[in-house]
Structure 1
Amino acid sequence: MRPIMSTGEMSRGHTVLERQTVDKTVTTLFITLILLCLVAVVGNGSIIIALGMKWLLRRTLSAHNMLLISLAAGRFCLQWVVIGKNIYVFLNPTVFPYNIVIQLLNIMWDFLTAVTIWFCSLLGFFYCVKISTLTHPVFVWLKFRVPGWVPWMLLSAVGMSSLTSILCFIGNYLIYKNFLKSDQQPWNVTGNSLRVSLEKFYFFYIKMIMWTIPTAIFSIFMILLLVSLMKHTKKTLLTFSGLRDVRAQAHVKALLILFSFIILFISCFLTLILSSDSSTLFQEFRYWVWQVVVHLCTVIHPIVILFSNPGLKVAVKRRCC
């Protein structure tokens, strides 16, 4: 016969079992996150190598490729920062979220996240101007002007992203200095009014504003491009003999790639907003779920770029062979 356990023994046993289950789940999510980041590193690294070799051979890059290599380089660096930060917090789950190491990792993460969002929005703007069949005089004028603006647009994106990271760093530093002066526990959120106010109002609204502006730009121009391509595709399907025609297939493929680009970008933006709560514990299940969801979106997009761009696909196959 099995011994009858008291209520206290049963509750302690249940707590230990639950903690082990949570630990296993967090470990699984952590490994999944690292694997996703490594896949993204390989995908973005392949784009950088392919376009970098073209840059070395031709001594120049087109405006489109300049945007692509900048986006890939930003994401490549971001994935390594994510790997470093999550290895650190996985090994130190109860670490104070505003210590010096986390502050250094956060300032790099804030900058690289903002800069990749800006680069994505600029890429969407460039696609709209160059590919759309809109005949408005403004778009006709932009078709000739935008390629020359690309280096300045990239520099502007870097400047805006630097402003975001500096503002967030100031808030992180204030919380850390306040924590050093007090005797509170690292995760005592309710006992620190400065931390509560900064996390609820300062950090959230800075990120919301700085991420929403490029997302709004991206969404507006992507909608315009979609409308333009759908009208053009409809004319093509009516003119030629169905989907068998090569031109019709090319238009449909372009629409599908564009839809995937929009869905991935908006999904990444929404998950970033939903996961931007600074008070989430590193050892919490919720923190690791959001990390996996956010970086799943960033893994898929470079793969879509690689397989949808004929030049990149040929260059990568050549390097692999």
Structure 2
Amino acid sequence: MGPIMSPGEMGTGHTVLGCQTADKTVITLFVILVLLSLVAVVGNGCIVIALGSKWVLRRTLSAYNKLLISLAAGRFCLQWVVIGKNIYVFLNPTVFPYNSAMQLLNLMWDLLTAATIWFCSLLGVFYCVKIATLTHPVFVWLKYRVPGWVPCMLLSAVGMSSLTSILCFLGNYLIYNSFVKSTQQPWNVTGNSLKNTLEKFYFFSIKMIMWTIPTFIFSIFMILLLVSLLRHMKKTLSASSGLQDVRAQAHVKALLTLLSFVILFTSCFLSLVLSSASDTPFQEFRYWMWQVVIHLCTGIHPIVILLSNPGLSVVVKSCFC
């Protein structure tokens, strides 16, 4: 599901699979992928409805909820793009990855993927500065400043995501233009050379910048938060009668929720990197396997948020009951 397809996906000598002649495992993975995307749509949609109704009623949202509704809305839109793109690819497995339809789908995918990664990273930063009990002066200063920065942080994330997605779109357009010229002038060999150069250096570099910077920021703050929570939980357990203590249970629950967040985010990031670096045509098993792995992570996380946040669960039940 990488925003820019690998060189292997450019080949036109593969056997056309289509819906009726596709391998059964590919069809199965395609169905699983669509179902996972629909689960993510429902989960993120519930979060958007719950926080949106709260926003309408109270005319305001906390900084944490602004981050959460931005992440849920971004993922909600992303999953519809994923469904549309993969249906298109499944029905047209040998499609030229840089045609007009793919350019539009990839532009939306690039923008929403980068934005949701940034939103996840900002949510991790907010978790850390609000929950961690670190006493370093810089950290204490951040604790009071970050909530007021949230709107600017969200706008900056959208701006950076837009910039990188536009750069990828321009690269896609250049490849498509060269391809069209090469079909009109068979002696022209610059199109294929340009395609290989952009795919090996330009696209991969942009994607690494697009995904690695927020992931690095997320990792640093999550490590700080995990260390803080482990220290605090150790003190709480040593001072209480055991795990039955209410405060100890709360700390354990918070730690497990945080660990699930870190594992899902890391798994999604690694899957995106490995998928974009692989040489896998659309019609191969590996392509669809990567899609399932990536969206298994994004499908589970909204469910974890709903289950771990009693306030959201109550609002969702009141909206649908």
Q: Do they superpose with TM above 0.5?
A: yes
Output the CA distance in 1 between the equivalents of 2:22 and 2:102.
Answer: 24
Please give the alpha-carbon distance, in whole angstroms, between the structure 2 residues aligned to 1:143 and 1:222. Answer: 15
Give unpaired runs (5+ residues) of structure 2. 1-14
Task: Work out the CA distance in 1 between the residues paired with 2:177 and 2:22.
Answer: 33
Cα distance in 1 for residues equivalent to 2:279 and 2:109: 17
2:164 aligned with 1:167, yes or no? no
Is the Cα contact below 8 Å between 2:70 and 2:119 reproduced in 1?
A: yes
- Out of 56-65 and 22-31, give the one that drifted further: 22-31
Residue 296 of structure 2: aligned partner: 296
| Contact map agreement 1:226 1:255 (CA 8 A) in 2 | yes
TM-score with structure 1 setting the length? 0.90
CA distance in 1, matches of 2:63, 2:219: 21
Counterpart for residue 6 of structure 2: none
Deviation at 1:280, TM superposition (A): 3.0
- TM-score of the superposition, structure 2-length normalised? 0.90
The Cα of 1:22 is off from its aligned counterpart by 5.6
Alpha-carbon displacement from aligned partner over 1:148-201 (angstroms, at most 9, x marks no partner): 1000000000011001101100110010001001139xxxx9981111111111
Between the two proteins, the alignment pairs up a number of residues equal to 301
Is the Cα–Cα contact under 8 Å of residues 199 and 277 in structure 1 kept in the other structure?
no
Superposed counterparts of 1:1-321, under 5 Å: 23-183=23-183, 192-277=192-277, 280-321=280-321
* The 10-residue stretch of structure 1 (119-128 or 88-97) with the greater mean CA deviation from structure 2: 88-97
1:190·1:196 contact (CA, 8 Å) conserved in 2?
Answer: no
| Paired residues of 2:71 and 2:120 also in contact (CA < 8 A) | yes
Q: The residue matched to 1:95 in structure 2 has which SS?
A: coil
Could you say which residue in structure 1 is the equivalent of 2:12?
none
State the one-letter code of the partner of 1:289. M
Which structure has more relative contact order (CA 8 Å, sep 6+)? It is 2
Aligned partner of residue 243 in structure 2, secondary structure: helix
User: Which of the pair has more CA radius of gyration?
Assistant: 1
Q: Work out the CA distance in 1 between the residues paired with 2:278 and 2:42.
A: 29
C-alpha change, 1:190 and 1:37, in structure 2 (3 Å) is farther
Check whether the contact 1:171–1:198 (CA below 8 A) recurs between aligned residues.
yes
1:20-50 deviation line (CA, Å, top 9, x unaligned): 9862111111111110000000000000000
Structure 1 vs Structure 2 CA RMSD: 2.0
Q: Deviations over 1:48-70 (max 9, x none)?
A: 00000000000000000000000
Q: After superposition, give the CA deviation of every residue in 1:281-309 in whole Å (9 maximum; x if it has no partner).
A: 21121111111110110001000000001
* Residue type at the aligned position of 1:195: K
AA at the equivalent of 1:227: V
- Alignment identity in percent? 81
Secondary structure of the corresponding residue to residue 135 of structure 1: coil
Q: Are the equivalent residues in 2 in contact too, given 1:33–1:292 (CA < 8 A)?
A: yes
**Number of the residue aligned with 1:5:** none
- The CA distance in 1 between the partners of 2:277 and 2:242, in whole Å, is 50
Instruction: Indicate the SS of the match to 1:96.
Output: coil
Give ranges in structure 1 of 5+ residues lacking alignment.
Answer: 1-14
Counterpart Cα distance in 2 of 1:278 and 1:234: 43
AA in 2 matched with 1:293: V
Q: Distance in 2 between matches of 1:84 and 1:209?
A: 26
| Aligned-pair CA distance for 1:114 | 0.1
